[in-house]
């Protein structure tokens, strides 16, 4: 979901961007007007996340999946191993891709609970000879989220924040690299944000394609080739909206309220349940299932009639999932909760 005001502004500007008589889609990415869009987006992102000066911010293509390969290619250097925390589907996809470039060490895994918990850090098997430690900040499908930043014991910390970047404030300086596809919580598909500490640049393996080479992209200000101009522009509008809303502390409060409202309703219900350990429940993606799965299709159908859509669980897990990203207002969550209570009253 994107903020309505962002979509309205994009609509209003689609034929004529700020008096240019051109759409953003039509201007040259090298021209001054587009450069101002690109630079403003970077400045706003730096302001929102308080990104220190020694970090580069890149706006790339290929999605988070592209980064699954780009990260080992760029950060492996002369090492042979990379370390991953396995918390579910997205960390597994990242690990599978990294295996083509390095030996992947699994430092911890949530498999013993069916990925319903994150193993405590004192049970992790650290490997100090790895080039970096990677974790998935929020497992979008499983609904498992880290609520503190793990200690990587001296090696660079890398995080896939595709589904929770900009949902809450955190200390960027704890990381070597952060990446996120824009389409979950930040904008539209097509642009991927990479925030990388400068001392990690310069050691890409020789086979790294130029467009995935952070050092080259940083030198070219993410314009080594034509960037995803329209997605970058939409991201910029979302960043302006977030600043107007009061920044990340303000949005984090709303996000917490939304998540608490929905979890409370699920936990009180005798029809619905959420299986995730309370200490690592996601505030962004809340999966839930019914004790009686024969009612699932009625639930989805009736929900749709109420305007409550996109509640199907991911095709790999089934059940339901409420993705309550930044742009979802509290009243949207409240409408879902009211419907769930009403549904339960009628069917039990």
Ligand X SMILES: *Cc1c(COP(=O)(O)O)cnc(C)c1O
Binding site for ligand X (CB under 6 A): 63-65, 90, 136, 140, 160, 162-163, 181, 184
Q: How far apart are CA 210 and CA 238, in angstroms?
A: 29
- In this structure, are residues 162 and 180 in contact, taking their beta carbons and an 8 Å threshold? yes
User: C-beta of 154: minimal distance to ligand X in Å?
Assistant: 25
Nearer to ligand X, 56 or 185 (CB): 185
User: C-beta of 179: minimal distance to ligand X in Å?
Assistant: 9
User: C-beta of 161: minimal distance to ligand X in Å?
Assistant: 8
DSSP assignments along 40-77, one per residue: HHHHHHHHHHT--TTEEEEEESSHHHHHHHHHHHHH-T
Q: How far apart are CA 266 and CA 339, in angstroms?
A: 12
Nearer to ligand X, 185 or 229 (CB): 185
Catalytic pick among 90, 124, 232, 241? 90
Secondary element (H or E) of residue 256: helix 247-268
3-state secondary structure of 81: strand
Nearer to ligand X, 24 or 64 (CB): 64
User: C-beta of 96: minimal distance to ligand X in Å?
Assistant: 12
User: C-beta of 316: minimal distance to ligand X in Å?
Assistant: 12
Q: Sign of the CA dihedral 70, 75, 80, 83?
A: negative
Nearer to ligand X, 90 or 230 (CB): 90
Nearer to ligand X, 184 or 321 (CB): 184
User: C-beta of 65: minimal distance to ligand X in Å?
Assistant: 3
Active site residue 160: yes
CA distances from 182 to 7, 124, 194, 338 (A): 15, 30, 10, 30
Nearer to ligand X, 90 or 343 (CB): 90
Question: Which residue is associated with the tokens 């996601």?
Answer: 282
Active site residue 331: no
Quick one: tokens of 156? 């660079």
Beta bridge partners of 81: 103
Residues with Cβ < 8 Å from 266, sequence gap 6 or more? 272, 273, 274, 286, 288, 340
Quick one: tokens of 176? 């070597």
Q: How far apart are CA 205 and CA 195, in angstroms?
A: 19
Catalytic pick among 124, 160, 241, 258? 160
- In this structure, are residues 140 and 117 in contact, taking their beta carbons and an 8 Å threshold? no
Residues annotated as catalytic are 90, 160, 184
């Amino acid at each position: 979901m994107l903020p309505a005001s962002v979509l309205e502004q994009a609509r209003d500007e689609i034929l004529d961007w700020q008096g240019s008589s051109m759409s953003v889609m039509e201007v040259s990415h090298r021209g001054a007007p587009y450069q101002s869009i690109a630079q403003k987006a970077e400045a706003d992102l730096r302001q929102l996340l308080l990104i220190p000066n020694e970090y580069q911010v890149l706006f790339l293509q290929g999605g988070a999946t592209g980064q699954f390969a780009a990260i080992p290619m760029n950060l492996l250097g002369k090492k042979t191993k990379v370390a991953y925390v396995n918390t579910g589907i997205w960390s597994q996809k990242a690990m599978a891709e990294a295996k083509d470039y390095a030996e992947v060490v699994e430092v911890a895994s949530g498999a013993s609970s069916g990925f319903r918990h994150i193993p405590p850090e004192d049970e992790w098997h650290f490997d100090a000879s790895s080039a970096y430690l990677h974790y998935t900040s929020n497992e979008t499908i499983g609904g498992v989220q880290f609520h503190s930043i793990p200690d990587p014991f001296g090696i660079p910390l890398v995080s896939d924040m595709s589904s929770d970047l900009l949902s809450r404030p955190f200390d960027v300086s704890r990381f070597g690299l952060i990446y996120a596809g824009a389409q979950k919580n930040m904008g539209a598909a097509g642009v991927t944000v990479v925030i990388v500490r400068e001392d990690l640049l310069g050691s890409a393996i020789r086979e790294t394609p130029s467009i995935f080479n952070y050092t080259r992209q940083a030198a070219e200000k993410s314009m080594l080739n034509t960037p995803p101009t329209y997605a970058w522009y939409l991201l910029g509008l979302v960043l302006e909206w977030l600043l107007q809303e009061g920044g990340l502390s303000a949005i984090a409060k709303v996000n917490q309220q939304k998540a608490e409202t929905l979890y409370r309703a699920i936990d009180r219900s005798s029809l619905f349940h959420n299986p995730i350990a309370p200490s690592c429940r996601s505030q962004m993606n809340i999966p839930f299932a019914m004790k009686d799965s024969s009612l699932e299709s009625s639930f989805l159908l009736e929900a749709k009639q109420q305007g409550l859509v996109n509640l199907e669980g991911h095709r790999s897990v089934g059940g339901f999932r409420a993705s309550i990203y930044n742009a979802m207002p509290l009243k949207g969550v409240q409408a879902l909760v009211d419907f769930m209570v009403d549904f339960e009253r009628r069917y039990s």
